[in-house]
Structure 1
Amino acid sequence: MNTLKKLQLLILLVLLPVLGSSQEPAAAAALSDADELAKQLQNPIASLISVPFQNNFDFGIGPADGSRWTMNIQPVVPMSISEDWNLITRLILPVISQNDVFGESGSQTGLGDAVITGFFSPKAPTAGGLIWGAGPAFLVPTATNDVLGTEKFGIGPSAIALKQVGSFTAGALVNHIWSVAGSDDRADVNTTFFQPFLARNFTGGYALTAVTEISQNWDFDSTSGMFTIVGSKVVTIGSQMVQVGFGPKIFFGNGRAADWGFRAVFVLLFPK
């Protein structure tokens, strides 16, 4: 069994008992807390410390029908910087294991490049109920293998806006990153990322979220898109509240990243 299949099996074995714990008495006792946390999780700039582990399993990559497992470690930490403003910092650090993604290229495992974003966000929504934030995004070349990253430092703007009405949340996140330093032997980075989302929460800490992720590489006129619908639930493991979720992935675009895949999410929650 190769490294990728072992890692995939490990993640599934970790998630299965968590999914099965949703009917524990502790979770039922925390029903109202679960509903509130599930709603806050639909807002990426909420005043909630969370540590998501977003696992992406992608298949049918390239001419050799390659595969890739990517676990994005995404801690989100809000900080109060004044009476009216928060600074929400988010790190996305990918752990990657892939096989034959560049033809018969063999297996690689390691870290990918990190993206660090800081959103300056008003503590109160606008009069119309709009929640928003904006700030800088940084690309940091943390990849441990040449083929897992860009070898470039990058910077650009990022913004998010959303509105929550009853049990629904609708919004979008966008950023653009240009490379400003790094290896002269590697291609420059000039990429826009756009992520619209729509979510519906249900009693009991359940949620259903539809997300589209589009990356546009302007230098190569390449568009890579992905659509997923993730079903999730907030549960309690001992005294720790977490969210677990699962859903299929559909790819599109002239730079389509894979033929098919799925996403499994495990989020540690630290409410104030």
Structure 2
Amino acid sequence: MPITRALIVAGIVTLSATAHAQESNDNAELAKKLSNPVAAMISVPFQFNYDQNIGPLDDGHRTYMNFQPVIPVPIGNDWNMISRTIVPVIDQSQIAPGTGHQFGLGDITQSLFFSPSKPSSSGIIWGVGPAFLIPTATDDLLGSKRWGLGPTAVVLKQDHAWTYGFLFNHIWSIAKVGNDRTHSDISNTFIQPFLSYNTPTAWTYGLNAESTYDWKAHQWAVPVNLTIGKLVRIGNHPVSFTGGVRYWAQHTDAGQKGWGFRFVVTLLVPEKR
């Protein structure tokens, strides 16, 4: 009888260890997919940011949350259309002298990437498509009062634990909202080189620069973000938690300066096997 019990206990321990190892492998795989902007996986990030030293007097600050759902749509057997939406909710104060406080919705950016469902023979992953700027801001100081349109593209490679590449878009204003004369037309280039390292225990270390060049003002804004993330499971649901700091290596005359912070909670909906 003792031998039988020992065998049962050993079997339970073995099954538990196997299940734990499988879950760890699954988590690491999901964390790596999350490093790919055009992965065929539904993800819903809630990205919280804080920036300071805004405006000519450096006394403004901004807290904002970007709701950024990513939804893949299969197109036949060989292609995916990846929808990436950025919906900003902004709280800001004194971004310019006498402007006071604003809270509300900013302009929505909608990108559609058409991407092959499999990497190329050399391991390159890419996607191209249109990007749209939608003037949804609820306050004049939270948005551009312009409809915008332009191209977007992403190119990356995942080599073992490393992911590296860049994301690009350029948006021109194509129409104004009503008879607005208080906002300038837009011609902005966004370039985001990124690098991340994923561990077998589903930790992710990331570095990127979300660079924007304003062709109207001839100015760069370059925040460099350093982040650390961990993918865990709450019940059976995978969730990624990421935190980090950023430094504005280059800023516009009226933009953010110095240090900022970021915290991201990402809900994932992996493919069913």
Call closer, same or farther: CA 1:66–1:36 in 2, change over 3 Å: same
Instruction: Give the deviation of 1:144 after TM superposition.
Output: 0.6
Instruction: Give the deviation of 1:135 after TM superposition.
Output: 0.1
Contact 1:226 1:252 in 2 (8 A): yes
**Is it true that 1:187 corresponds to 2:180 in the alignment?**
no
Q: Distance in 1 between matches of 2:219 and 2:53?
A: 18
**Is it true that 1:260 corresponds to 2:253 in the alignment?**
no
- Residue of structure 1 aligned with 2:39, choices 36, 42, 46: 46
| 2:30 paired residue number | 37
One-letter identity of the residue aligned with 1:51: V
Secondary structure of residue in 1 paired with 2:210: strand
| 1:19 paired residue number | none
| 1:176 paired residue number | 170
Instruction: Give the deviation of 1:254 after TM superposition.
Output: 4.4
Q: Distance in 2 between matches of 1:258 and 1:75?
A: 28
Matched ranges for 1:132-211 at <5 A: 132-183=126-177, 184-185=180-181, 186-211=183-208
| 2:230 paired residue number | 233
TM-score by length of 2: 0.87
Instruction: Give the deviation of 1:239 after TM superposition.
Output: 2.5
Q: Which runs of 5+ in 1 are unaligned?
A: 1-25
Contact 1:38 1:234 in 2 (8 A): yes
Secondary structure of residue in 2 paired with 1:30: helix
Q: Distance in 1 between matches of 2:227 and 2:258?
A: 18
Contact 2:52 2:256 in 1 (8 A): no
RMSD over equivalenced CA pairs, Å: 1.5
Q: Distance in 2 between matches of 1:252 and 1:147?
A: 24
Q: Distance in 2 between matches of 1:240 and 1:106?
A: 42
Contact 2:52 2:58 in 1 (8 A): no
| 1:111 paired residue number | 105
Call closer, same or farther: CA 1:27–1:174 in 2, change over 3 Å: farther
Call closer, same or farther: CA 1:48–1:27 in 2, change over 3 Å: farther
**Is it true that 1:223 corresponds to 2:220 in the alignment?**
yes
Larger radius of gyration: 2
- Residue of structure 2 aligned with 1:72, choices 58, 66, 83: 66
Q: Distance in 1 between matches of 2:54 and 2:157?
A: 36
Instruction: Give the deviation of 1:198 after TM superposition.
Output: 0.4
Call closer, same or farther: CA 1:253–1:30 in 2, change over 3 Å: same
Q: Distance in 1 between matches of 2:199 and 2:184?
A: 45
**After TM superposition, which residue ranges in structure 1, 4 or more long, deviate above 3 angstroms?**
26-29
Q: Distance in 2 between matches of 1:27 and 1:49?
A: 24
One-letter identity of the residue aligned with 2:111: T
Q: Which runs of 5+ in 2 are unaligned?
A: 1-18
Q: Distance in 2 between matches of 1:190 and 1:171?
A: 24
Instruction: Give the deviation of 1:48 after TM superposition.
Output: 0.6
Secondary structure of residue in 1 paired with 2:152: strand
One-letter identity of the residue aligned with 2:51: D
